[in-house]
Structure 1
């Protein structure tokens, strides 16, 4: 897995590009065929402790900045808002073509995005955000046949 990660760091820009999507805001699109199970991109950013996420989210909201955070585990979160890569623009879908997985490389946990199935050039990359269930619902814009209408 570590070797695949190192190769990906040098080649992911050949696989994906960020542009206007079909779903929301910006999106990440496939530039070449990506096979099922292939490592696509790391969700990169600054690793912060979970206890800091609310404070940062409030700070970003006050500045009118969109917030891009992804939980690694109970203790750590990747904050891609100010220092992330294109992976932060992957949109949610109720019928995704990718999935996320935490892997360990050289003793550090990394969030990786993998292809769930074969993805063709021009197709938008998506994954299920798997937000926790809450009373306040976040509307889903994926538009798929199996859309749950909310992301949580």
Structure 2
């Protein structure tokens, strides 16, 4: 059974904002689901152009599979604040629940209080 982890976003030394643990997290635990709108590639391409035209500096598009992308740019959760790191403390994994694919972030190692949550954006 998954218990929601206590997390907060705050200023990051990596890139502007980041996501931080507010409690110790053991290795191999589910940390957070990456939540947003499920869209197709053609829609993602249009949105990415529109976001650039609107001056939105960062978009939060995360590919689930060949056909599906999760867009957390305007509708998402704290997971969108997770920064990239070449030596991350977490990893992303696609899981299927009731025939719907979801992206879940898991800890690779123990994570301490106030430690920034990171994963390698070159997923999978």
TM range (shorter): over 0.9
Give the number of equivalent residue pairs.
123
2:44 aligned with 1:53, yes or no?
A: yes
Q: Which runs of 5+ in 1 are unaligned?
A: 132-152
Give the secondary structure class of the aligned counterpart of 2:116. coil
> 1:50: how far off?
1.6
4+ runs of 1 displaced by more than 3 Å? none
Matches within 5 A, 1:2-151: 4=1, 7-8=2-3, 11-12=4-5, 15-65=6-56, 66-130=58-122
Which structure dedicates a bigger proportion of its chain to helix? Answer: 1
Report the TM-score when normalising by structure 1: 0.77
* The structure with more radius of gyration: 1
Q: Which 5+ residue runs of structure 2 have no aligned equivalent?
A: none
**Structure with the larger RCO, 1 or 2 (CA within 8 Å, 6+ apart):** 2
**TM-score (normalised: structure 2):** 0.94
Cα RMSD between the aligned structures? 1.4
